[in-house]
Chains A and B, each alone.
Chain A
Amino acid sequence: MISDQIKAQFVKELIKKNERPDGRQFLQHRDISIQKNVFENCEGSAICHLGDTKVLAGVKIDLATPFPDRPNEGMLSVGCEFSPIAHPSFQAGPPGEASIELARVVDRGIRAANAIDLTKLKVADGKVLGVFIDLYILDHNGNLTDAAAMAAMSAVKNAVVPKVVQDGEAFKLDREDRKSKLPLGEDVVTCTFEKIGESIILDANIDEENASSGRLTFGATTNGLVCSAQKSGSAGFNLTQFDELLDLTLEKRKDLIKLL
């Protein structure tokens, strides 16, 4: 849309003057809050508010057949839906490349950090628990990645596990009896940086995203390790920028993890 291009140009000019449209510092987040356990039917849920961006994560836990190469591990699956309620450019239909990328970046972070101890989700031979995280974008105002990662992590942390009941040879879940929590490891959060001109900003809003030529996301864990990274968009990052953004992520992670 032409108005988006005009706004993007405006943002580029502002950034050159070391300013952001909402008056933030370049490396400052918008206000963040997370609502936990917002629904009763699913096993876990959270809505992350990152400025005006809203991402909902829902967790369902089902009985599943393990992957043949991981017979003793529970399953983890992350999906993402860019619902048409969130943005005029989002259309109903099969997931596009942006939503697949988002889901996979969140998935990699949680998986690599061992945020959920999948080895403790075996029920019996050939039967495990599967953790299904679905990300729903409710309001797209920029930086979906970090909002989605926080919503997912928070929903996982607060999820409850239905009791597994054995019925002869078969197993089933008693969803009325959900007292235990998921076996958890490290918490993980992400920090996403956007490159506008030669400047780099943290937590871009949507107008800033439209002005951006490339992004870099790092995932970091509670104990200070890096668990995932994704560079996206056409702009490149040099080694100095790369190192700085990595160190910043490690620094910023502490405040983010407190909110989960």
Chain B
Amino acid sequence: MSSNDPKKPKLIQNGKRMSGRSFTDLRPLKITAGVLKQADGSAMIEWGKNRIIAAVYGPHEVFPKFLTDNRKALVGARYVMAPFSSLEDHGRSGPNRRSIEISKVAKHVFENVILTNKFPKTIIDIHMDVVQSDGGTRIAAITAASVALADAGIPVKDLVAGVAVGKVDGELVVDLDKLEDNYGESDAAVVISPRSGEILLFQMEGLLTPDEVKRTVRLASDAAVKVRDVQVKALKDRYAQVANEQGEQLL
């Protein structure tokens, strides 16, 4: 949050954002399910300039074994950014403090929706690799991972949909791009379960009045429904593809 940075561009002009979007428009969003052969489930998300690949492995045996839970499956989540993923200098590969925190809260989201009691003594691993970043990578990664879980055939209570909402030049706007993320006054990553309307992830920083925070989650809830439509389409396309590959069948 560096709204007093001299390099800050004017982010809103004549009621439009720099990208030409209205305050509630999403960036172009496309999800493709089943992009990887080895993984049990996978998805690639293209959201603005974000390119993130999610893969699901499992349920499989837990290692080390003593961590096994006899009543339910464990959920493992790993979010990482590739060292070449940003427009800036080459980053360090592997997890850092930021990605460890994001992996932890992402894991909590999926612990909520996966029917873990169906797979005792196992672990379901969810990997989210950011290969190009453009603001809002964590919510894009979780959105993609939710599709990958469904692609893996793992029973879930709901698809979960994420979006970032922030205050930019004094206005609350939906789906922050990188400039809005860097120069805005606040930033909240939100993941919603559209069926229950529950907030499964909320990470906010910046200065907002309590009313603005309340509007932030409501804007996110509305946007999550749009994101969910794209997720559903990705899965339907994937099943149509599988059906085509199998050719004509009597039953």
Contacts and interface: CB of A to CB of B under 8 A. Distances in A.
B101 interface: yes
Interface in B166-196: 186, 188, 193, 196
B105 A232 contact: yes
Contacts of A231: 105, 108, 199-203
Residue with the greatest number of chain A CB neighbours at <10 A, chosen from B98, B109, B205 = B205
Interface in B194-235: 196-210, 212-214, 217-218, 221
Contacts of A100: 97, 100-101, 104
A100 B102 CA distance: 10
Interface residues of A, number: 37
Contact of B205 (A103, A112, A237): A112
Interface residues of B, number: 38
B115 interface: no
- Give the secondary structure class of A's interface: mixed
B101 A236 contact: no
B108 A234 contact: yes
Contacts of A235: 112
A112 B197 CA distance: 28
B199 A112 contact: no
Given A101-B104, A239-B218, A242-B217, A230 B209 contact: no
26 contacts: A101-B105, A111-B1, A112-B206, A112-B207, A214-B112, A224-B209, A225-B209, A226-B213, A229-B202, A229-B203, A230-B203, A231-B105, A231-B199, A232-B105, A232-B108, A234-B108, A234-B112, A236-B193, A236-B198, A238-B196, A238-B197, A238-B199, A239-B197, A239-B199, A239-B214, A247-B210
Interface of A: 70, 97-98, 100-101, 103-104, 108, 111-114, 119, 214, 216, 221, 224-239, 242-243, 246-247, 250
> What 7 A-B pairs have minimum CB-CB distances, sorted nearest first?
A236-B198, A234-B111, A229-B204, A231-B202, A112-B205, A234-B112, A97-B104
Interface of B: 1-2, 4, 97-98, 100-101, 103-105, 108-109, 111-112, 186, 188, 193, 196-210, 212-214, 217-218, 221
